[in-house]
Structure 1
Amino acid sequence: MINDFAAAAQATMAFLRRRLGFKLWMVTRTEGDDWIVLFADDAGYGVTPGQSFRWTDTICSRMALGHGPNIAPSTRDVAAYAQAPLADRLPTAAYVGVPLRRSDGSLFGTLCGIDPQPQPLEIREELETVALLGDLLSRILNAELDAGTASRQADRAEVDATRDPLTGLVNRRGWDMLLAREEERCSRYGHSACVVSIDLDDLKFINDTQGKSAGDALLMRSGRALEQVTRGTDVVARLGGDEFAMLMVECDYFDAQAMLMRVQETLAAADVRASLGMAMRKPGYDLEEAFAMADAEMVRAKRSRKVLN
């Protein structure tokens, strides 16, 4: 029995190609206004896993809202589908699609197929089969997502031996490991994530003027403040010296902005001055690349603070 989401997705698309034809079958993820292709069985469109389109431009978004049927032998006969901008970019004359839902009923993505030619009206009789396959995929997906929570907890336990002795936070080695593990999950399921680079502004000055014990107290205070604003699934690390990092999993842009504001407020309340940079992991670049972007933003912020001072 296939109980792996990736294998189940591939088997489902292969079955539907044999049964219904169609040039392109996809399993997708919707995240904010991104429509991310997780898996594709493509015979001519040039669509590849990891590609991202604008969700509101898709026929799937209209299907999910109930603006059109799950199976449209001719999309030009369905006004909402004929007007979808992506139907021009990916020529679509026939459409099949069903939603994939999380355990709480919220939309995860879709199982869908498109073809550049209209199809026989009889394909509408396949709706029960396609809906059943979508439901089975959703069940396998949700089992894996639930297992992912346990997997993150196991990852955290594994890095207990790689903690910074002063702050108790994950060190550079643990950070690199957890970032790589989370990237695997993001790539597999299309999760979004946020990374933050943090550099304390005053550590060297305090060490030089008040002594190392005062500097250590600043580092410990900073670590406690950062841990206060994170969830159990998130990661806070001390990378070395006055450098800290944060990883927020399954975090969209608006959650990330709210979290960044809390970080700034909590650090200020703890009498910690720091420069911060944030970046989102999105289709097109991975978590390591996103962290490099966050680090560059932090450097710009630090330079700006020095100019102002």
Structure 2
Amino acid sequence: MHQPVPPVQYTPPGLDWLELQAINEVEGLSNVLQLVLLLTGLKFAAIGKFNEENWVAYIVNDEMHLGLEPGSTIPNEVAICTKVMQEHTPLIMPRISDDPAYRSHPNVIKFGLQAYISMPIFLINGEFFGTLCATAPYPADVLGNEKTLDSMKLFSRLAGQLLSLNPSHLQ
């Protein structure tokens, strides 16, 4: 009778368990952003966190070439998703030009945005982390679709679970 073969575990030289977790977190979150873009047809997706003054980009997929990258900041007073931070509810605009509260927003004008969605992200301990947002320079009626909204909620929950793998987020 043969003994079962233990699973192969590979740890790249010089990396400890926490570093591997951080790499896996980033890869998992990058995959979430790719799925958001594939599902919605939008051209920019990001996960960001708020601090006292700014929304800070954490992971970015920027097919619009807006110039935002991890670490980029937008002051809270002009971040489109500030309402999500304040109310912890989604912000969905398939056609920003139809929304009187946002169609003249400084960043809508600056970046030429026509569609936008932002979902709150909560860690597994219930703490608000930040937002999963996506946008495009054209209207996206798919954002008004119930299945799209349900998928975005799932992506937001998945992002929260992946972020919770990193103990530094659970302080």
TM-score bucket (shorter structure): 0.7 to 0.9
Look up the match of 2:41: 21
Q: Can you list the C-alpha shifts for 1:81-119, whole angstroms capped at 9, x where unaligned?
A: 324322222221101110112345343211110111111
Aligned twin of 2:114 = 93
Could you say which residue in structure 1 is the equivalent of 2:151?
129
Q: AA paired with 1:40?
A: V
Aligned-residue offset at 1:48? 1.5
Moved more, 117-126 or 134-143: 117-126
**1:109 matched to 2:140:** no
Identical residues among aligned pairs (%): 22
TM-score (norm 2): 0.74
Letter in 1 for 2:61: D
Structure 1 residues 81 and 146, CA, compared in 2 at 3 Å: closer, same or farther? same
SS in 2 for 1:88: helix
Cα–Cα, structure 1 residues 69 and 31, in superposed 2: closer, same or farther, change >3 Å? closer
| Aligned positions of 1:7-156 closer than 5 A | 7-44=27-64, 45-66=66-87, 70-121=91-142, 123-125=144-146, 126-145=148-167
Rounded Cα–Cα distance in structure 2 between residues aligned with 1:101 and 1:69: 12
State the partner residue of 1:176. none
Where does residue 8 of structure 2 map in the other structure? none
Structure with the larger helix share: 1
Counterpart of 2:166 in 1: which secondary structure?
Answer: helix
In the TM superposition, residue 4 of structure 1 has moved relative to its aligned partner by 3.0
- What amino acid sits opposite 1:109 in the alignment? G
User: Please, which runs of 5 or more residues in structure 2 have no aligned partner?
Assistant: 1-22
Task: Extract unaligned runs of 5+ from structure 1.
Answer: 150-309
Which fold has the larger relative contact order, with Cα–Cα distance below 8 Å and residues 6 or more apart in sequence? 2
TM-score (normalizing by structure 1): 0.43
Letter in 2 for 1:26: A
Sort the Cα spacing of 1:89 and 1:31 in 2 relative to 1 into closer, same or farther, 3 A: same
Task: Assess if the C-alpha contact under 8 Å between 2:121 and 2:157 holds in 1.
Answer: yes
Change (3 A) 1:121 1:146: closer
CA separation in 1, counterparts of 2:168 and 2:72? 25
CA-CA distance at 1:80 after TM superposition: 2.9
Mapping for residues 1-309 of structure 1, pairs under 5 Å: 4-44=24-64, 45-66=66-87, 70-121=91-142, 123-125=144-146, 126-145=148-167
How far apart are the structure 1 equivalents of 2:161 and 2:37? 22
- Please state how far the C-alpha of 1:58 moved relative to its aligned partner: 1.6
Contact 2:40 / 2:140 at 8 angstroms: preserved in 1? no
Identify the residue that residue 183 of structure 1 maps to in structure 2.
Answer: none
Quick check: which has more Rg, 1 or 2? 1
